[in-house]
């Protein structure tokens, strides 16, 4: 009699990577549930996690290596062996190294949770072109946090203990990174009396769960935050000690900068009343330090997203809630911080190109190199980067990039710009359609990996992703594909891949974890109980004292240690007679002003109106996009259980706007932008700003299997590649559109 196995692993149906347990019988997954040992999700699992069974059992999965026969994009393929496939690719790549042209290999990834293995391959090969979708996702937010705090690139709000939340454009009840753990803690805080205020152009599920939803005009989050700061400083509600001790400006400088950002100005720009902003400022300050801000794409996916994020983050500094219990906290979430990659590790490539380090984004190159995404295809099309081979892993650019279905697809079809294209994926996507060689990948339920995210328990942890069923056909874990490929290319590359298999690599990697791989295989998670991160990490005392002859302190309070070579390095900052860690910035203080290469002198968070929004006519509207709680970008529309819940993406339009154009609920109408046009179905709702149209992502596939095809529309053809000039993030929510035809004409 067969037994039901319970195998722990980690989800990868979105970026939250929750721990899960697979119930498996006779080689088939019966059910997926949350793993209670996960310190973030604590045993909970959303619909996406439970529906991951659909990935494994998808009848249209790619099972064998395929080589293109007809013209690129024709869909004419022939099955080949893995040996033929890898030999073909190795033969293509070997001359690039031999002829010292490694940068002509471009590796493009989407959800790369190999946590360093793909980078090991590109580093060993010598190409700087491990390029991802970061600039399309969260770059403006990450850049801001890295610039201002230095310690991390993502916030970890202490939601469980907070009393007041100002939420700017984050739908964390559905789709924020870490949303499963966040909503549990926020819900508990609300039960304990905390207040949640949400600014958003749309009544999201998070806004619906808030104490107050405040619709504002797109891209005005920054001036709203600056106006709240203005009131806090005007009414002397700030934390004076924190500002003077731990920010790089005086209280007088703060007041001078914020003096112009009146609630009245913010009201004219955002539509949010000055009276309400004044009231919220007082309430936010009164609850500090157990008060915090939340943000996501609603605030930062604009051409002014960096400044929006920065102004919002500064609110936490103003009231002294940074790093405090119930405040805006942070902890690094890279599993490699807890368990470093096993060696030998290859050196980092020295080459820099316009593709890896676009010269128009010097600040991004300084803080977050290889992260700008919207320039990739324009630069390839313009010849700014010479590409011999494009290797795409788990990415679907024709669906998920701005101008994806049009310009990006055309670029991928151009064999002069991209002579050879190999795709590693589990499904026949719109990206695979324009490949020359397809290598079938395993799904995350058939792979090995160590993983983690920033811990809401503020304790470092390590999770294991392990196969719960074997991959079907000839599908392979990408780690094994890259190990095999490296050994085929040359001996120098093979030196960095001394592993027999993906399991062998993870076993070596997991050795420092108590219990090693076997312990993780049994439990799924290991959490450090002794290394919990304290509140106020910047006050952590160092091992150095002021009386040490090798310590020198400058006029700004920075403590320097003289090394054996005679050179001095910063080790902390003097605070109340002690040398403490401080922030991980140049002067060990929170940065409320910055020196940025492309700007003259110091800059503060400032309101920069969206340029295309300045002269809007009555017939102009702003298009925004959003995510459902049951879908992840373009990756889940082929999962039947999820499309049964949400299988379409009509355009949200305010009834007043619809009436003016004669548009009826459920009827089609056409919207146009500078880059395209789209016929959409109308969803009439008052849960949207009257000047905004909103279309969710995830749909509009013309490949990706029968479950995905023919459902909804892809709005990205309407959205130009346009980025924040400082942060480098894509301006998803700035596109000006017009309603071109009423319903009857569109039909």
Range 267-272, long-range pairs (CB < 8 A, 24+ positions): 269/217, 269/220, 269/223, 269/607, 269/609, 270/216, 270/217, 270/220, 270/223, 270/224, 271/215, 271/216, 271/217, 271/220, 271/689, 272/199, 272/214, 272/216, 272/220, 272/224
Cβ atoms within 10 Å, residue 416: 6
Q: Please report which helix (H) or strand (E) contains residue 141, including its range.
A: helix 139-148
Residues 628-686 pLDDT 10s: 999 998 899 999 999 999 999 999 999 999 999 999 999 999 999 999 999 999 999 99
555 to each of 532, 558, 559, how far by Cα in Å? 33, 7, 10
Q: What is the pLDDT of residues 288-333, one digit of tens each?
A: 999 999 999 999 999 999 999 999 999 999 999 999 999 999 998 8
Q: What is the pLDDT of residue 742?
A: 60
What is the spatial distance between Cα 584 and Cα 12, in angstroms, rounded to a whole number? 31
Specify the pLDDT at position 531.
Answer: 67
Please tell me the distance from the alpha carbon of residue 309 to that of residue 729, in angstroms, as a whole number: 12
Do the beta carbons of residue 422 and residue 89 sit within 8 Å? yes
Residue where the block lists tokens 């605070």 = 575
Q: What per-residue confidence (pLDDT) applies to 33?
A: 97
Pairing of strands 105-109, 130-131: parallel
Backbone angles phi, psi at 49, to 5 degrees: -65, -45
Locus of tokens 């062998």 = 504
Q: For residue 701, give both structure tokens.
A: 């596939």
Cβ partners under 8 Å of residue 425, min gap 6: 62, 392, 393, 394, 431, 432, 438, 440, 441
CA neighbours within 13 Å on the CB side: how many for 262? 4
Q: At residue 743, does pLDDT exceed 50?
A: no
Q: How far is 613 from 206, CA to CA, in rounded Å?
A: 26
Contacts of 704 (CB under 8 A, 6+ apart): 396, 427, 428, 429, 430, 634, 637, 638
Q: CB of 183 within 8 A of CB of 676?
A: no
The predicted model scores a pTM of: 0.97
| 200: number of Cβ within 10 Å | 28
Q: What is the CA radius of gyration of the chain?
A: 26
**Is the pLDDT reported for residue 585 higher than 80?**
yes
pLDDT value, residue 113:
87
Residue % of the chain over a pLDDT of 90? 94
What is the average pLDDT across 277-282? 98
Q: What does the alpha-carbon distance between residue 697 and residue 200 come to, in Å, rounded to a whole number?
A: 17
Q: Which residues pair with 212 in a beta bridge?
A: 197
Query: Kind of pairing, strands 66-68 and 19-25?
Result: unpaired
Encode pLDDT of 245-254 as tens digits: 999 999 999 9
Bridge-partner residues for 167, per DSSP? 198, 294
**pLDDT for 625:** 96
Asked if 485 contacts 87 with a C-beta cutoff of 8 angstroms, the reply is: no
Delineate the domains of the chain, giving CATH numbers in brackets. Answer: 66-137+337-455+472-509 (3.40.50.740), 157-318 (3.40.228.10), 537-592 (no CATH), 616-746 (2.40.40.20)
Report how far residue 303's alpha carbon sits from residue 608's, in angstroms, rounded to the nearest whole number: 9
Strand partners, 595: 602
Q: Residue 186 is encoded by which pair of tokens?
A: 């926020």
According to DSSP, the residues that pair with 737 across neighbouring strands are 621
Tokens of 216: 């504002």
* 151, 16 contact by CB (below 8 A): no
Bridge partners of residue 165, in order along the sequence:
196, 292
229's tokens: 């700061």
pLDDT confidence band for 523 (50 / 70 / 90): very high
What phi and psi, each to the nearest 5 degrees, are found at residue 524?
A: 85, -25
CA dihedral 738→743→745→747, nearest 10 degrees, is: 120
Contacts of 256 (CB under 8 A, 6+ apart): none
d(CA 514, CA 509): 12
In angstroms, the CA 350 to CA 453 distance is 29
Structure tokens at 202: 């749309």
* pLDDT, tens only, 356-410: 999 999 999 999 999 999 999 999 999 999 999 999 999 999 999 999 999 999 9
Please write the tens of the pLDDT for every residue from 25-80.
999 999 999 999 999 999 999 999 999 999 999 999 999 999 999 999 999 999 99
């Amino acid at each position: 009699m067969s037994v039901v196995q319970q195998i722990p692993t980690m989800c990868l149906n979105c970026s939250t990577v929750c721990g899960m347990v697979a119930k498996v019988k006779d080689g088939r997954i019966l059910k997926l549930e949350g793993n209670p040992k996960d310190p973030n999700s604590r045993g909970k699992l959303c619909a996406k996690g439970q529906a991951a069974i659909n990935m494994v059992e998808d009848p249209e999965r790619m099972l064998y290596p395929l080589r293109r026969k007809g013209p690129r994009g024709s869909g004419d393929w022939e099955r080949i062996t893995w040996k033929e496939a890898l030999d073909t690719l190795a033969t293509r790549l070997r001359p690039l190294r031999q002829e010292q042209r490694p940068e002509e290999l471009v590796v493009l990834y989407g959800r790369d949770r190999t946590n360093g293995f793909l980078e090991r391959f590109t580093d060993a090969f010598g190409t700087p072109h491990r390029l991802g979708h970061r600039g399309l996702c969260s770059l403006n937010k990450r850049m801001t946090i890295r610039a201002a705090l230095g310690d991390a690139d993502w916030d970890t709000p202490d939601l469980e203990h907070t009393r007041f939340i100002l939420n700017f454009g984050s739908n964390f009840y559905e789709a924020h990174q870490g949303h499963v753990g966040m909503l549990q803690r926020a819900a508990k805080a609300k039960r304990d009396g905390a207040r949640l205020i949400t600014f958003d152009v749309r009544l999201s599920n998070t806004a619906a769960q808030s104490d107050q939803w405040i619709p504002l005009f797109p891209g005005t989050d920054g001036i709203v935050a600056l106006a709240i700061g203005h009131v806090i400083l005007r009414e002397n509600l700030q934390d004076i000690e924190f500002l003077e001790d731990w920010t790089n400006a005086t209280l007088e400088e703060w007041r001078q900068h914020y003096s112009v950002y009146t609630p009245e100005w913010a009201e004219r720009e955002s539509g949010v009343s000055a009276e309400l902003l004044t009231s919220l400022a007082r309430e936010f300050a009164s609850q500090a330090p157990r008060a915090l801000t939340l943000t996501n794409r609603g605030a930062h996916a604009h051409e002014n997203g960096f400044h929006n994020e920065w102004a919002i983050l500064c609110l936490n500094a103003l009231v002294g809630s940074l790093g405090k219990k119930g405040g805006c906290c942070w902890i690094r979430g890279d599993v490699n911080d807890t368990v470093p990659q096993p060696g030998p590790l290859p050196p980092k490539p020295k080459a820099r190109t316009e593709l890896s380090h676009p010269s128009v984004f010097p600040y991004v190159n300084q803080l977050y190199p290889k992260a700008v995404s919207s320039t990739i295809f324009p630069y390839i099309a313009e010849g700014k980067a010479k590409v011999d081979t494009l290797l795409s892993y788990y990415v679907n650019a024709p669906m998920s990039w701005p101008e994806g279905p049009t310009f990006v697809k055309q670029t991928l079809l151009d064999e002069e710009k991209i002579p050879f294209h190999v795709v590693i994926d589990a499904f026949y996507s719109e990206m695979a359609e324009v490949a020359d060689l397809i290598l079938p990948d395993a799904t995350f339920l058939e792979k090995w990996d160590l993983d983690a995210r920033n811990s809401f328990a503020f304790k470092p942890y390590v999770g294991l992703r392990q196969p719960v069923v074997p991959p079907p056909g000839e599908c392979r874990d990408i780690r094994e594909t890259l190990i095999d490929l490296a050994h085929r290319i040359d001996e120098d590359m093979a030196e960095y891949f001394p592993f027999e298999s993906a399991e062998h690599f993870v076993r070596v990697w997991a050795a420092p974890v108590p219990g090693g791989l076997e312990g993780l295989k049994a439990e799924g998670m290991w959490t450090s109980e002794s290394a919990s991160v304290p509140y106020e990490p910047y006050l952590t005392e160092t091992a150095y004292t002021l009386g040490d002859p090798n310590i020198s302190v400058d006029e700004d309070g920075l403590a320097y240690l003289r090394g054996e070579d005679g050179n001095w390095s910063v080790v902390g900052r003097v605070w109340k007679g002690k040398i403490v860690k401080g922030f991980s910035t140049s002067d060990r203080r929170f940065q409320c002003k910055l020196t940025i290469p492309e700007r003259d002198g110091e800059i503060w968070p400032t309101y920069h109106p969206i340029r295309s929004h300045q002269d809007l006519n009555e017939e102009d509207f702003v298009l925004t996009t959003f995510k459902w709680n049951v879908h992840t970008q373009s990756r889940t529309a082929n999962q039947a259980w999820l499309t049964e819940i949400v299988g379409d993406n009509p355009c949200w339009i305010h009834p007043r706007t619809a009436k003016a154009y004669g548009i009826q609920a459920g009827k089609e109408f056409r919207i146009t932008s500078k880059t395209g046009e789209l016929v959409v179905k109308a969803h009439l709702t008052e849960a949207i700003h009257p000047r905004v149209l909103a279309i969710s992502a995830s749909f509009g596939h013309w490949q990706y299997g029968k479950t995905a095809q023919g459902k909804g529309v892809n709005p990205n053809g309407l959205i130009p590649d346009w980025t924040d000039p400082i942060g480098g993030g894509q301006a998803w929510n700035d596109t000006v559109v017009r309603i071109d035809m009423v319903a009857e004409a569109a039909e």
